[in-house]
Amino acid sequence: MFICEVCDSRVLRIVLKPFELASNYGKCAKCGLLQNLGQIQPSKIEGLNFDNYLLAQDEVFEKSRRLTVLFQLEKLLTQNSLELSVFDIGTGSGHFLLDAQQKGFAVSGSELSHTAASIVKKEFGFVIHVMNYEELGFTDCQASVTMFCVLAHSVNPESLLRSIHTSLTNGGVLYFHTPRYCLIDSLGITLARLSMGRLDHLFLRRIGGDHKRIYSRKSLMKLLEKSGFSEFEMKAEIGYGLKKEKYFTAIGLPKNLSILIALVLNIFSRLKLLPRNVFTVYATKRN
């Protein structure tokens, strides 16, 4: 029997290919968490081609999201009489820290990739901690902490969130976004099951690779509460951070067809008619 990492309830295993035990994915019968049931290992992020990743990003969308987050953080920190400072976990390309600095925030961050950290230092001059946030040992000192699609990659999300809670000062704010279980995942599971695993590309695009889990509202609320947060705002939003054609070329569709589908979906996106595929969360620490 498989057990949910959030609520310790029974997990129903999803079989993608007949008799192939390596395909260990499951959905919690109680809280709805979709998770990789295999042995959880740290992400193998060294060697990623950052140039290709940046080219795939929808920079217009990402820039808008970063500025929205900074506006909300400034509002919350001002309300709580805290300085404008932010620690970004999973700094990546460093563009969020650059935007934050330009908005008057004191900035710092961490990364697990020496490659990414060296690029950020070379491009922007930011010195990034290259280690897990839990290992930094911060206590009651951070005004705000941010994570852009980090929680789904974490080996131990509860430990990570607990360390963030410990590191925040009273009134400090955590922002993060993470994949949300939605229509895309239900469709991906259905296609994989009906095809006996032959049409598993959509499913694996969402939770394959380094993505280890996709949260339901109930499972994410439970996780936040277990980690010490009692005050938080959670919203389901449309959040496709890559150029839409990249999602389809990644699952094997021809480039021209991917571009055509992306054009249609961009119209639906502007009309707010696409599945709400991410949760955005602002959680405040209260002593």
pLDDT at 42: 60
Cα gap 216→233, rounded to integer Å: 15
Residue range(s) defining the domain that contains residue 17: 1-38+181-214
What pTM does this model have? Answer: 0.88
Q: Are 199 and 138 contained in the same domain?
A: no
20 found inside a domain: yes
243 found inside a domain: no
Q: Are 64 and 106 contained in the same domain?
A: yes
Mean pLDDT per segment of 10 residues, for the chain of length 287 residues?
A: 89 67 78 83 53 61 92 97 97 93 97 89 93 95 96 93 98 97 92 82 81 94 97 92 69 80 78 88 95
Q: Are 12 and 150 contained in the same domain?
A: no
Q: Are 142 and 231 contained in the same domain?
A: yes
Q: Are 121 and 7 contained in the same domain?
A: no
Q: Are 143 and 99 contained in the same domain?
A: yes
pLDDT at 232: 96
Q: Are 1 and 28 contained in the same domain?
A: yes
Helices and strands (DSSP H and E) totals, the chain: 10, 12
- Where b means 16+ CB within 10 Å and e means fewer, 208-222 reads beebbbbbbebbbbb
Cα 75 to the chain's mean position, in Å?
23
* Number of folded domains that form the chain: 2
pLDDT at 205: 80
Selection from 190, 192, 205 nearest residue 240 by Cα = 205
Cα gap 146→227, rounded to integer Å: 16
266 found inside a domain: no
Q: Are 199 and 100 contained in the same domain?
A: no
CATH number at residue 64: 3.40.50.150
